[in-house]
Amino acid sequence: MAKQAIGILETKGLVALVQGTDAMLKAANVELAGPMKGVGSALVSATITGDVAAVNAAIEAGSDTAGQYGEVVSAHVIARPHDDITAITPAKAAPAKRAAK
């Protein structure tokens, strides 16, 4: 299986990031890799994964949309990241199991 690409969208302000993330997830077959992260000073970021072409398309759509609602600080795609990158990127949490009644 081909390695996945990762894309990172960082904005100043949560509204811009939510709008940009929504556009990314609708634009291409990508997945949100864990929760959005607050960096500080109103900087927030979201990370997506998928194949290289899908991540490129999603980041482009997300940064364009986020720019309409606030300031895009950074939008970047890393194709075929090294395996050790997973140690510092957000990961999806396992779904919580419901207790039997």
Rounded (10°) CA dihedral 74, 80, 84, 90: 50
CA gap 80, 73 in Å, rounded: 23
Domain boundaries, the chain: 5-87
Q: Please give the average per-residue pLDDT across 73-88, as a whole number.
A: 92
Task: Quickly state the pLDDT bin for 94 (edges 50, 70, 90).
Answer: low
Least confident range from 4-8, 75-79, 94-98: namely 94-98
pLDDT class of 75 with cuts at 50, 70, 90: very high
pLDDT band, residue 53 (cuts 50/70/90): very high
The whole-number pLDDT of residue 1 equals: 38
Domain formed by 5-87, architecture? 2-Layer Sandwich (3.30)
Q: For residues 35 and 43, which has the higher predicted lDDT (pLDDT)?
A: 43
14 three-state secondary structure: helix
- How far does Cα 89 stand from its chain's mean position? 10
Give SS3 for 5: strand
Average pLDDT (35-48) is 88
The answer to whether 17 and 73 are in contact (CB under 8 A) is no
Cα gap 77→47, rounded to integer Å:
10
What percent of the chain lies above the pLDDT cut of 70? 88
